[in-house]
Amino acid sequence: MGDILHALPAVTALRAAHPEWFIGWAVEPQWRGLLAASCVKAISHEMPIVDRLHIVPAKDWGRHPLRAETIKDIRRTRHELRAARYDICVDLQGAVRSAVLGRWAHPKRLIGEEKPREWAARYLFDEQIPTTGTHVIEQAIEVTNAVAHEQLPVMLPWLPVSEAAERYCDASLAAFDGKPFVILNPGAGWGAKRWPTERYGEMARRFSEIGYGVVINSGPGEEMLATEVNATSGNIALPLSPALDGLIALMRRASLVIAGDTGPLHLASALGKPVVGIFGPTDPARNGPFGGAFRVLRHPESKRDHSRRAEPEAGLLTISPDEVWSAAMELFPDGR
């Protein structure tokens, strides 16, 4: 989710600058809801971000590489990408896998960053674009400028609106009776990035005491984390596990979002919501909230490390509930 959300501002700017261009996007199936396809419209905009989605279940291919269905699906994808006859392919992920997909499309130009996330990917690019920005969103804009032949603005991405998701939010939030609410997201991609659940529970209690509703969001497989947070809060929060369109709608209504380095944090930031990011082994200067109102907490001795460790990183554990609360209160307009 984070990779797509970090690429979306650049593609939104490209679409806004060139509405007549045909734009396609290769995406894993679970994230198709982030892109304004024909079934939904981007808020305040009549055009979708992309004209065509290419559904690429690459992670599933990796789990079952020799399965007949995998081989058949890879052939389908290669044929579909080539048949689209794209003039240009832009790799904004900087991975070997995404660069290979670009090659499959046989574009006239395959463009990527000079120093991509995975260094080997650069050798698949026809053009390597040097970037100077620190944040991945800035880097994506710089790469996309090479396609537009102009300086594109940094703008909030267009994200879809779903009427079904709005009804889901109306029903789910009815218990709050219209009062403002915050979202706590205890999950993250791996354990080293997860702030302890009992500390999220403390946040829930504090917000409840000043009159805010509290939603605990959990993604697939994270339901137990939400249960633990709610238990430590005294069961005063509302645990929800919405589908992606429901999460987008929920984030739009929230007053504040508190999370670690995970997709929902980046979604809230992309929607312009105030966020408090709790970071440990990943670098918020490169991957943290971008634009809008935010506060990032990270111990100065935390080292950048993408090892999939199960236990919270030591620096992350030094961040106290009092620090998170102070950061949150700085973001509230009423100063409470």
Average pLDDT, the chain: 92
Q: What is the pLDDT of residue 306?
A: 75
pLDDT over 70, % of the chain: 95
In degrees rounded to 5, what are phi and psi of residue 112? -150, 180
pTM of this prediction?
Answer: 0.91
Q: What is the pLDDT of residue 273?
A: 95
Average pLDDT over residues 86-101: 96
Q: What is the pLDDT of residue 88?
A: 97
Q: What is the pLDDT of residue 336?
A: 53
In this chain, the answer to whether the domains covering 2-156 and 162-331 adopt an identical fold is yes
Q: What is the pLDDT of residue 46?
A: 61
pLDDT digits 0-9 by tens, 257-276: 999 999 999 999 999 999 99
Domain ranges of the chain: 2-156, 162-331
CATH 3.30.499.10 fits 162-331, yes or no: no
* CATH class of the structural domain 2-156: alpha beta
Q: What is the pLDDT of residue 210?
A: 95
With a cut of 60, say whether residue 292 has pLDDT above it.
Answer: yes
Q: What is the pLDDT of residue 189?
A: 86
With a cut of 70, say whether residue 139 has pLDDT above it.
Answer: yes
